Structure 1
Amino acid sequence: IDKMISASDNKIGTSIGYVGNIVDLWERIVEREVFVHLGSDQTSLHNPFQGGYFPAGLSFDESQSLMHENPEDFKEQVQNTLRRHVQAINHLTSQGMFFWDYGNAFLLESGRAGADIFNENGGYRYPSYVEDIMGPLCFDRGFGPFRWVCSSGLDSDLLETDKIAEHVLSEMLEEEKDVNVRQQIQDNLKWIREADAHSLVVGSKARILYADEQGRSRIAAEMNRAIADGRITAPVILGRDHHDVSGTDSPYRETANIRDGSKWTADMSVQNFVGDAIRGATWVSLHNGGGVGWGEVSNGGFGLLIDGTNDSERRLKSMLHWDVTNGVARRAWARNDGAIASIKRAMDINSQLTVTVPELVDDAILDDLIGDE
């Protein structure tokens, strides 16, 4: 805490790792009356009673023993710690801290534990970060984590893909007029220009950046041409994270800002799974869990190998278009402003795309028509 305060006072950006129970830290911050501007949580509460969350007051070894020898007591202590966890956060937010939940079932399990986590309307006190950040800024606009792996295992091939991505994003930035989309492109241009310097590769020669449907399709098509003319020596495998525009149905995270009632359905993941297969994915997957807990989420994924052929170009353009636009359409139907703008733009770019756009109703007109009925 002293290091945190010193860094803040001296306006130094820093990252400090704390090895211990996060509830002890939150409670000590309350005790010392430290003002925290922003707070969040990424505990592994999608698996609360098998090692994802440990009770405060117990060491790691003590927690492990209790979890295996007396699981009911372990569960009770976990839930008691959750209630303390929420109490500390509630105090800090009452002092002005802005808090959001990452989406790994912190809000869900806190509610189940009887913590003071609900507002007067029965909803959660705090938003998921997809509701406040990722949804409006990224997913509604079609931006999400686009991945690729160089099958050659060569650094030179990975660097060539970096150059291609940088070139494509630079072109897109020059063409783009939408301020919010420009910001996303600028952020990812900075990222891809600096990626190699950060030595992030562990194992396979892979890269990831946030891109929309146009970005993914244009980068992939240029990589395919580079394979064909020998600039890249071997096939590239395309993919993405589940934490994306449309690959995951997760009401506590990825689809948290879809508020038309459909966030409780598993339609996007299934549609992506089937649609990607039909449109040329090399492999597809449909599974459950994915970081927020069994029974709480459905994931549809894909892998697409491109090898420099015309067939690869046909498949990547068809499949990547569906994989992203499916989710943007769903978010537009939920009346999310950014998604409506993005799906209209997608239809302008692709004359074969037709998506029903919602007609927004003025609540005041309805109130005048039906009164209090």
Structure 2
Amino acid sequence: MGPVDLLFSSLPSHGHTYPLLPLAIAAREQGHHITYATAASFHAPLIALGFDVVDVGIDIHSAFAELAGSEVSPIEARRRDPEEVAKLAAHIFTDILPRRFFGDLQPVLAAQRFDLVVYEAATIGAAFAAKVAGVPAVCHAFGRGFDRVAAEESGTAGFAEGFVRIAEELLGPDATDLTPDNLAGGDPYLDIYPASIQAPAYRDAPNRVPLRPVAFSEPGELPDWVRAHAEPLIYLTLGTAFGDAGVLRTAIAGLAATGAKVLVAAGPTVQTEDLGDPPPSVTVEAWVPQAELLPHVDLVVHHGGSGTTLGSIAAGVPQLFLPQGADQFTNADAVTGAGAARTLRGDEVTAEAVTAAAKELLSDADVAARVAALAEEVAAMPSPAEVAARLPEFVRPVHVVPAER
């Protein structure tokens, strides 16, 4: 089969869109036509890559504001009562977002015939729209598969049942093969998580297609001293959605005491001035090109977002997790359980604890061996180019599922 028309779709955020871009880029380089469907707030980096874009869905921040009736960001919502936060998040991710993507994509798929839909695992509304349109689809992971134990800790345990409920409501109870313990369903599942630390229901699924995770970030310049890497370098970030100035200040104090150089990415939810006057060994930036940075660092201290977790694994760098919410506890448990990281949670995050954990991770030979083993496992996974070459084989006749009325 020659070039095919591909529709990619993901939630409009760094953590949900960036994991799909290496495959989309590889597919475009092989002559396939790429249309990317997500909310307009995230179109700029997609247009810069040369993709056609379609405005569908709603961004997570707007969904929080719509539900709460005010401008409430995920980080602000997290400061509320934990049970209230869990209910807010569950309703947003398993109801508001799926409905919006499902409704907005139906006319798009009716107006233009695509050969294949590639949907990000949390953008389940795109999967439902593809079924109604009779377009074959593949699910692209953004991180680790659902793990009930870690989900209980992060307050997301109800998400699995919520996804199944919305599938049955929109498609009918007999038209979906999702289960609470395997949300990939029957579509091919492009799994970017190393099998050795993947949740068993996903690792052992017959529809699993391994895909090497490749770090992506918008291009930027690194300081010369970072590239020179003349002394140990620690990278600190809490990502793009869960930044917390207090946690960052504590981590900065702890990391400065290690004697290493520290580069901090404050992210869009924290103002750099809120981090005070850092010690001379600490450099604070609003943003850094993370994909370019990771090969130059000796330790990553972070929230546990899937992109940072997998990018650090691929770069062969030990990690200190300071999980704040969402899937971050799942990633922290998986990598720490493999002996390649350490985790500090909640009140455990003190400057002294950060110093001790960082020093251990920088010097422990056993940790270094586990980190190297995970990096080798990732390097052996099929590349985005190899998987892109397989996409035409997933183009097949499918049964049209009428939407429930």
TM-score of the aligned structures, taking structure 1 as reference length: 0.33
TM-score of the aligned structures, taking structure 2 as reference length: 0.31
Greater RCO (Cα-Cα under 8 Å, separation 6 or more): 2
